[in-house]
Amino acid sequence: MHQNIITMAWTLVLAFLILAGCDREPGPYDPVPIPDIRFLNALIEEGYDRNFDKQISFSEAEAIIYLDVSERLITSLDGLEAMINLEELNCYNNEIESLDLQGNPLLRSLDCAENYLDSLDLSANPGLTFVDCSRNGLTYLNVSGNLSLTFLWCSLNELTYLDLSANKALGSDWDYTANEGYCYTEIDLSYNSYLQEVCVWELPFPPEYREICVNTVGSPQVIFTTGCQEDEPGR
């Protein structure tokens, strides 16, 4: 009887320790879960593994400001959410099917072109000024919260609707002469053969008094409108 009580007590203690470990918040030296080995190897090769333990700790992830993991055959960027101070992300020409940027509120520049994305939600990244999401399979693109956006390249996708009504920085005033004829702001909508409606903040678009480069080559059905849909199709 006495032995059974001791065994039961140790069982309860062990169960408590296991549960406590499950509930524990990760510490700065704990490794970030990164399931894609190519993504992990890219981070190590780029020198972000500061203590050479073949892992990326939470403190190491938080120190990353600029990240280029392009052309690495990466399929998942899970673990990116730990890089809370990330400002620039280049991940073009990979095999990424989804991209969660909810944990990267300081992001200013994003190049995720040439992947397999079908949707992209940038509502948690209000500081973005540059986005290249061309050559994906996007049917949904949310840039409504990106009020600082000045460059948007979304060519060669499958968009049917795009709301730019809040993105007035795409049409910011600038000195065309001082920029030697180059576009300070650019919207690339080319080769979206299904794209029919682009909601903007004013008509005609682009405004005659602002030098905005808009490319609609290969998107023959595009019309600009101020009659924004409250809910985008299929969402």
CB 52 within 8 A of CB 58: no
Chain segment 55-114, per-residue pLDDT in tens:
999 999 999 999 999 999 999 999 999 999 999 999 999 999 999 999 999 999 999 999
Lookup: tokens for 104: 């990267």
Tokens found for residue 176: 């065309």
pTM of the prediction? 0.76
- Would you say 120 and 140 are in contact if contact means Cβ atoms under 8 Å apart? yes
Q: What pLDDT does residue 211 have?
A: 67
Distance of CA 54 to the CA centre of its chain: 26
Residue 10: which pLDDT band, with cuts at 50, 70 and 90? low
Closest CA to 150 of 95, 208, 101, 213: 213
Backbone angles phi, psi at 131, to 5 degrees: -140, 125
In the predicted model, what is the mean pLDDT of the chain?
Answer: 83
